[in-house]
C-alpha cells in the first residue's frame, strides 16, 4: 500500500471480491516532499496508507526497509551510471526487493496471495503464467515486471489490469473516496526528485573530483569539446549537452574507462541489431518460434518487430524489422507476443555489434 490511487483501489476491489486484506507499506526512501507537515516523523504515503487501512478495517504494517533499499536498489542505480550505463531501478526493485518483501510479509501474516496496483494481468499458457499488458496502454507496467519468477507470479493478483486510470479514479469516487480519486501521479523513480544528476552528486559528493570533465569526441574519436563527466549523459540525449556544433548532436556512445562521450547525428543512433544479456525467458522455444515477436527497448516505447538468436547462456542477438534507435546499455529489452510478455533481458554494450551480427547471420 503506497497510499496512492492505484494501491487504494486495489485494496477496496480485493475486499469486494471477498478477500481478507492485510496491507503492507514499504518505507524505502524518505523524499523531502513527502513530509508535508513540520515535525512529521513518517512520510505522507505511510500516513495515507494507514488512514485508508483504518477506514477499510484492515490490518496494516509498515516495513522499514530504508537501509536495505539503499544498499540494493540505490547502490545498483549509482553503480550503473558509474559504468556508463542507463539503469532501470524499477525492473531491479520488483524481483530483488518489493515482491520478495511482500512474499515474506505474506508468509508472516498467513496470506496466500500478494497484490499490487500494477496495470497488468496474468494469463496461463502451456503450463506457464505470463504477464499481460494492461488495457490502459498509457499506464501499462508490464515492462517493469519481466524478471518476476513463476513462483512469485503464482501468488499474484492484479485487479487493475482491465481498468483505465480514469476508470480507477471513477471507481474510487463511487466508493466515497473523492479526495483520493483526485490524487496526483507517483514519481517515475520513487527515490529521485528532479534531475538524476543532482541525486548522483548528493550520494557521491566526490563524483566531480573523482571523475571530472572529459572529452566529447566524434565518430572518428577526434576531440570536439569538453563535457562534465560521463555519468551525466545517456544514449540518445540531445538537450543539455552545452556544446555548439552548428547542428543537432546526440549522444551515441559512452566510454566510462576513457571518460569520453561520442556525439553524432540522429541517423547514427539507428541500428538493425542489438545485443542483450542476462536474459530471462519463460519458454525459449516459444520465443524463437513466435511469428509476431516484438521488443520494447525502453518504457513507453512502441514494441519493435524482431527476431532473436541465442548466442550463449548469457547473450541474445536481436534483429529489428523496423526502425530502432538509441540503444542504451543497462535498459531493459522486453519481448512481447502481442500483449503477452515472453521475457526480457538487459541491453548489453553494443561495442562490436556489426561484427557480432555478421558472424551470426545464419541464425537470423
Which of helix, strand or coil describes residue 165?
A: helix
**Contact in structure between 62 and 1 (CB atoms under 8 Å):** no
Give the separation between CA 227 and CA 214, rounded to whole angstroms: 5
Q: Which of 93, 111, 120, 290 is catalytic?
A: 93
Q: Where are the alpha helices (DSSP H) in 32-158?
A: 44-56, 66-69, 75-82, 89-93, 99-108, 150-153
Give the separation between CA 234 and CA 159, rounded to whole angstroms: 35
**Contact in structure between 264 and 218 (CB atoms under 8 Å):** yes
Cα–Cα nearest to 119, from 106, 100, 130, 132: 132
Cα–Cα nearest to 306, from 265, 342, 283, 272: 272
103 is catalytic: no
For residue 302, give the DSSP letter.
Answer: P
Give the separation between CA 204 and CA 75, rounded to whole angstroms: 11
**Would you say how long the chain is, in residues?**
364
Rg (CA), the chain: 22
Q: Identify the residue whose cell numbers are 503464467.
A: 129
Give the separation between CA 175 and CA 156, rounded to whole angstroms: 24
For residue 42, give the DSSP letter.
Answer: S
Question: Any binding-site annotation on 183?
Answer: no
Question: Any binding-site annotation on 330?
Answer: no
Which of helix, strand or coil describes residue 78?
A: helix
11 is catalytic: no
H/E stretch holding 120 reads strand 120-125
Q: Which of 120, 190, 290, 306 is catalytic?
A: 190
Point out the annotated binding site for ATP: 26, 117
Point out the annotated binding site: 26, 117
List active site positions.
93, 190
Amino acid at each position: 500500500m503506497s497510499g496512492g490511487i492505484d494501491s487504494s483501489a486495489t485494496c477496496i476491489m480485493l475486499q469486494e471480491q471477498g478477500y481478507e486484506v492485510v496491507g503492507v507499506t514499504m518505507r524505502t526512501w524518505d523524499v523531502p516532499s513527502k513530509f508535508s507537515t513540520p515535525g512529521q516523523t513518517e512520510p505522507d504515503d505511510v500516513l495515507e496508507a494507514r488512514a485508508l487501512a483504518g477506514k477499510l478495517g484492515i490490518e496494516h504494517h509498515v516495513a522499514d526497509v530504508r537501509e536495505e533499499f539503499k544498499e540494493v536498489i540505490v547502490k545498483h542505480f549509482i553503480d550503473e551510471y558509474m559504468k556508463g550505463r542507463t539503469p532501470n531501478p524499477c525492473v531491479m526493485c520488483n524481483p530483488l526487493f518489493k515482491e520478495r518483501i511482500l512474499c515474506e510479509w505474506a508468509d508472516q501474516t498467513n496470506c496466500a496471495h500478494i497484490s499490487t496496483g500494477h496495470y497488468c494481468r496474468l494469463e496461463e499458457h502451456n503450463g506457464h503464467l505470463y504477464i499481460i499488458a494492461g488495457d490502459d496502454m498509457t499506464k501499462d507496467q508490464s515492462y517493469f515486471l519481466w524478471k518476476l519468477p513463476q513462483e512469485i507470479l503464482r501468488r499474484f493478483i492484479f485487479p487493475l489490469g482491465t481498468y483505465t486510470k480514469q476508470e480507477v479514479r471513477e471507481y474510487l469516487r463511487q466508493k466515497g473516496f473523492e479526495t483520493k480519486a483526485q490524487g496526483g501521479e507517483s514519481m517515475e523513480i520513487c527515490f529521485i526528485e528532479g534531475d538524476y544528476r543532482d541525486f548522483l552528486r548528493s550520494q557521491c559528493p566526490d563524483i566531480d573530483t573523482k571523475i571530472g570533465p572529459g572529452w566529447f569526441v566524434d565518430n572518428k574519436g577526434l576531440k570536439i569539446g569538453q563535457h562534465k563527466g560521463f555519468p551525466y549523459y545517456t544514449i540518445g540525449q540531445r538537450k543539455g549537452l552545452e556544446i555548439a556544433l552548428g547542428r543537432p548532436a546526440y549522444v551515441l556512445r559512452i566510454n566510462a574507462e576513457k571518460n569520453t562521450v561520442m556525439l553524432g547525428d540522429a541517423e547514427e543512433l539507428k541500428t538493425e541489431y542489438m545485443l542483450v544479456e542476462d536474459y530471462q525467458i519463460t519458454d525459449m522455444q516459444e520465443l524463437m518460434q513466435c511469428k509476431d515477436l516484438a521488443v520494447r527497448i525502453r518504457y513507453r516505447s512502441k514494441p519493435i518487430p524482431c527476431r532473436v538468436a541465442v548466442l550463449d547462456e548469457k547473450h541474445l542477438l536481436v534483429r529489428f524489422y523496423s526502425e530502432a534507435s538509441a540503444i542504451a546499455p543497462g535498459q531493459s529489452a522486453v519481448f512481447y507476443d502481442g500483449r503477452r510478455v515472453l521475457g526480457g533481458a538487459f541491453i548489453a554494450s553494443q561495442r562490436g555489434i556489426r561484427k557480432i551480427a555478421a558472424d551470426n547471420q545464419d541464425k537470423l
